[in-house]
A and B are shown apart, each in its own frame.
Chain A
Amino acid sequence: MTETTVVAEGLFTWPAEEPRLIGSECSACGLLAFPAAVQCLRCFATHMQERLLSPRGTLWTFTTQGFRPPSPPYDGNDAADFRPYALGYVLLPEGILVEGRLTEADPANLRIGQPMRLVVIPYTHGGEGSSILTFAFAPDTGEQR
């Protein structure tokens, strides 16, 4: 079994059967933030509590990344065989838009408004062949994962 690490601690619940993004909620006004914030951008309060975000939402907009991003900061190990990927903002039921990579790379297979669900995917390798995991959004067919 390949060893895995997560790209950052405190970003999403893992390991988990149904991973969730770890955000924060302002104790004073309820504004959500992702990643978790230390100060509210609406009421400026500094007391925030952890809040797991909904794992499902709808695609608000999307695009493709047709060329390999400048590296660094990008650390995908695909310098020789880069394959375009897609990115999008997913609107969660709580009213927050979250940006993430999409598992579907072909824009012809994506449409604004379609259901999406959170997944955790390997996006690059660390040393010794281990995978580094990040969160992404996959088209939600409503079927069992």
Chain B
Amino acid sequence: MSQAAIIGVGLHPFGRFPGVSAMDMGAHAVRLALADAGLSWSQIQGGYVGSLEVANPDAIVGRLGLTGVPLWGVFNGCATAGTALAKAARDIETGALDIAIAIGMDKHPRGAFAADPSVAGIPSWYGRTGMFLTTHFFGMKINRYMHDHGISERSLARVAAKNFRNASVNPNAWRRTPLTEEEILTSPVLNYPLRQYMYCGPDEGAAAVVLCRADRARQFTSTPVRILAGELRSRRLGAFEVNTPALPLLDGGTASPTVDASRAAYEKAGLGPEDVDIAQLQDTDAGSEIIHLAENGLCKDGEQEGLLAEGATELGGRLPVNTDGGLLGNGEPIGASGLRQIHELVLQLRATAGTRQVPGTPRVAYAHLYGAPGVSSVTILST
């Protein structure tokens, strides 16, 4: 088995771009990633492309060159980009491809995601009565978590303030105006205890990652980033999840696809949470980042309160989290969001992240995605 290494990353800024299609953003990101790797489109042997809004994402070849390349469309909700990257890496590991690409792009309308419940296998009454929404799930999960583990509203505000602060020094981010904890704590409650400035919003953007066999990576770059693991898990019985009218309460409701994907990824990578130097965690809302710190093994339940107070997850802390602003600062174009995480981690591992570069020499980086109706992906990278 070969190992896969990232040799090029590209990103179209996240935000609102009237008149620019998702596919044009995707093609822009691909060109940047190819230029970063020093490759041309004709050298890409295959890959995976993900999008919610673009019905035929493989049609992006019409922007890049009609080489006949096998470009597979993938979708796993908010974990889509994790799938695209993991499958591309897998094709290199098995020897099916020597050079591959993962692409994500999206362009969402404003406001909370709206869809017919049937797209998620949910009965129509659930949507008619006002329950088919992802946002209220996050309010309910963090409300219970705060009750069980002594997490304060102040900690929610600390997470949001940190991510907006990080976004303010990221020229590719969407929400670049820093907000004080007081401004966050006085914004309107959307889903108790979560407030307006504790949520990310759907937006637009694209990202692409070029991979090759690790043993050939130095032909293309002096700073390859190896993919140690890319795992995805769906929910098990008892997981407390988005869009679930009812579930059995097992083990206190602690089952989680994030825990499962995380453990599998650590095992595949042959390392543990103590080895992680920098992380990107799905922060659909401030509460999610807090919960995901523990679900990914990066702290114990309840320790977040102290970690956030001491600034452990800040740019200069011992475990920087969401250094580019995360979803809160960048918004969430679903197909692209996870490749934005990888783009940031690769810059940080190369020590080219500019004013938001974390100190020291980060060697192991961790990326986590979580989406409805209960699917998580985890990617572990290393120099």
Q: Footprint of B on A, CB under 8 Å? A: 7-8, 11, 23, 31-35, 41-42, 60-67, 69-76, 85-89, 91, 95-101, 107, 112, 123-124, 134
Contact = CB atoms under 8 A, between A and B. Distances in A.
Contacts of A100: 131
B144 A61 contact: yes
Interface stretch (B133-141, B269-277, B298-306): B133-141
B247 A97 contact: yes
Interface stretch (B34-42, B107-115, B165-173, B343-351): B107-115
Interface centre among A32, A34, A66, A123 (most CB of B within 10 A): A66
Contacts of B245: 34-35, 98-99
Interface in B23-41: none
Given A74-B128, A85-B130, A123-B129, A32 B248 contact: yes
A125 to B, nearest CB: 12
A42 B136 CA distance: 27
Contacts of A63: 136, 139-140, 143, 191-194
7 nearest interchain CB pairs?
A73-B127, A70-B114, A63-B139, A61-B144, A34-B246, A8-B125, A64-B192
Interface stretch (B116-124, B150-158, B289-297): B116-124
A87 B131 contact: yes
Nearest to B133: A69
A96 B247 CA distance: 6
Interface in B180-211: 188-194
14 contacts: A34-B245, A61-B144, A63-B193, A63-B194, A65-B191, A69-B130, A70-B111, A76-B130, A85-B130, A89-B140, A89-B240, A96-B247, A101-B129, A124-B128
B130 A74 contact: yes
B66 interface: no
Contact of A11 (B113, B125, B140, B194): B125
Interface residues of B, number: 40
Contacts of A124: 128
A21 to B, nearest CB: 8
Nearest to A123: B129
B253 to A, nearest CB: 7
A112 B140 contact: no
A109 B248 CA distance: 26
Nearest to B139: A63
Given A61-B140, A61-B143, A95-B249, A69 B125 contact: no
A63 B199 CA distance: 15
B244 interface: yes
Contacts of A88: 140
B111 A66 contact: no
Nearest to B244: A99
B237 interface: yes
A101 B245 CA distance: 11
Contacts of A41: 237
A72 B127 contact: yes
Nearest to A34: B246
A7 B139 CA distance: 25
Given A35-B245, A72-B114, A95-B248, A65 B127 contact: no
Interface centre among A69, A95, A101 (most CB of B within 10 A): A69
